[in-house]
Amino acid sequence: MHHGPKDDLDLDLDLSSAALVFRLLRGHGIPAAPTDMLSAFFGGGNNQKAAKDDMDGLLALYEASYLAFPGEAAVLDEARAFAVENLQRRQQAPSFMDALPLQWTAPRLRAMWSLRADYCCDDKRIDPAIVQLAKADFNLVQAVHRGELVKIIKWWKESGLGEKLAFARDRVVESFFCAACIAPEPHLGECREVLAKTSAIIVHLDDIYDLYGTPDELEAFTDAIGRWDNVSAAAAAGALPEYMKAMYSAIWKTSVTAADRVLHKHGYHVLPLYKKAWHDLCKAFLVEAQWQHQGYRPSFDEYLTNGWVTSTGPLLLLHALPTITQQPAEIMSMLQVPWNSSGSGSGSGSGAIEYPRLVELSSRIFRLCNDCASHQAESERGDAPSSIACCMTEMCASEQQARAAVQDAIADTWKELNEEVVVAAAAAGQWNPCSAESMANLCLNLARIIHCIYQDGDGITSPTHRTKQLIKDVLFNPI
């Protein structure tokens, strides 16, 4: 990772171009050294003087700084500070610091905001024909998504979960919105379907463990998921309460349907792996429920070790990954599980699933962003401790200080995720790790849409006006 394009090419670029080239190279998994490409613009000399008045260049430098790797703080953190200082000096800070950086924003949202912006029509540097084509493309894809949402809502009503678990949050539209931002391409309909269905079920499951189930009921349900077989969902559920039987049946039917598709298309029997992932999630939920009932406050590391699983990111990605690739064997090898087409595999064993590092990192971001949005409401309800509460205890810190520490942890995790995308691409021999049909793209987009959902509050538990408008604009309002 120590050689950038300037080692091989004599690129005489201005700040805006250099920052853009750096961001594009990093974003496509191509090695690029920030010291070579960017430091000349803020390290003193004539280039720095010119850069201070280059508004486009400063904004590009600010965005490029969010593709840092661990250990690059001396360069890219300094670059961000330089950009922010000079943008603030020109009173441009409010226009960008209130928004998420591009690297943390789902591409579908970036496209929508760009196409709805006035400058798209006013900027003479942009070909109007290209803008019209892009708008038509957005609207056509939106129509595809809207048609899929109708089917998801029909499935949800037929499942009866909304009536059988009336105490739980009904968030099927929000679930599909997230799915459409994780995998927006029209040909990834199966991926969106399994993501939306699984996510909608998870919201109800989370409420069972957090709010409704008794300790004995939760232990019985977790045990029933662990004994899941394909004889009969009702028989495996045993003597569970009726609302838990309904949840058990929904989990079983949804995962069986998803696994049958993978088996039919690719010849791989992934149902035991899905079962193991559901059991791991329920066990992690149960740990949090026990912390809550016992009044136990874990350390930050102990909390996050369990919390990246309870984020539900691993389960969602595991269900989604086989739908986007023509070579599911590669995914199974990444999960370190030997499979064969006869339907047997070690996924039914007792050990934990070995998820790829990409999955863990995006799920850690998921967990920490969720905590930042939900900490206050959950602490008032007396729920299990969040990462912020753990930091407050461990650091003897105020809530404000703990929130700052968690935000720093999110930024550091993003640096690890940026690097892992490039490392994973090199290991797999991929020239573009962020193509639509890649694990890296799913993991990145999961982390990105989570930032959006939890940016100004808990957009799942209590959707804000902004969240509702965003869903309308993405799914219902043509450009």
Residues 196, 176 contacting (CB under 8 angstroms) = yes
Do 152 and 292 fall into the same domain? yes
Of the residues 98, 120, 154, which one is the last residue of a structural domain?
A: 98
Do 141 and 50 fall into the same domain? no
Do 275 and 346 fall into the same domain? yes
Of the residues 54, 79, 98, which one is the last residue of a structural domain?
A: 98
361: exposed, middle or buried (Cβ count in 10 Å: 0-12, 13-18, 19+): buried
Give the SS3 label for residue 92. Answer: coil
Q: Is 105 within the bounds of a domain?
A: no
Structural domain count of the chain: 2
Residue 48 belongs to domain with CATH number: 1.50.10.130
Do 304 and 391 fall into the same domain? yes
Name the token pair of 420.
């892992």
Q: Is 118 within the bounds of a domain?
A: no
**Which CA distances in Å does 138 have to 78, 132, 288?**
37, 10, 41
Give the SS3 label for residue 345. Answer: strand
Q: Is 108 within the bounds of a domain?
A: no
Verdict on whether the full-model pTM lies above 0.85:
yes
Q: pLDDT digits over 95-147, tens only? A: 566 789 999 999 999 999 989 886 666 666 778 888 899 999 999 999 999 99
Do 58 and 174 fall into the same domain? no
Range of the domain at 161: 130-475
d(Cα 18, Cα 20) in Å, to the nearest integer?
5
Do 373 and 469 fall into the same domain? yes
Residue 152 belongs to domain with CATH number: 1.10.600.10
Of the residues 42, 76, 98, which one is the last residue of a structural domain?
A: 98
Q: Is 397 within the bounds of a domain?
A: yes
Nearest by Cα to 314 from 349, 267, 265, 366: 366
Q: Is 382 within the bounds of a domain?
A: yes
Q: How many residues are listed for the chain in this entry?
A: 479
Could you list the pLDDT tens digit for every one of the 479 residues in the chain?
Answer: 434 444 444 457 888 899 999 998 888 877 788 877 887 787 666 666 667 778 888 999 999 999 999 988 778 888 898 888 888 887 655 556 678 999 999 999 999 998 988 666 666 677 888 889 999 999 999 999 999 999 999 999 999 999 999 999 999 999 999 999 999 999 999 999 999 999 999 999 999 999 899 999 999 999 999 887 655 555 656 688 999 999 999 999 999 999 999 888 888 888 888 999 999 999 999 999 999 999 899 999 999 999 999 999 999 999 999 888 766 665 666 565 544 433 434 333 446 688 889 999 999 999 999 999 988 877 777 777 899 999 999 999 999 999 999 999 999 999 999 999 888 777 766 656 667 668 889 999 999 999 999 988 888 888 888 899 999 999 999 99
Q: pLDDT digits over 233-282, tens only? A: 556 566 889 999 999 999 999 999 999 998 888 888 888 889 999 999 99
Place of tokens 């809530």: 399
Nearest by Cα to 105 from 117, 116, 118, 96: 96
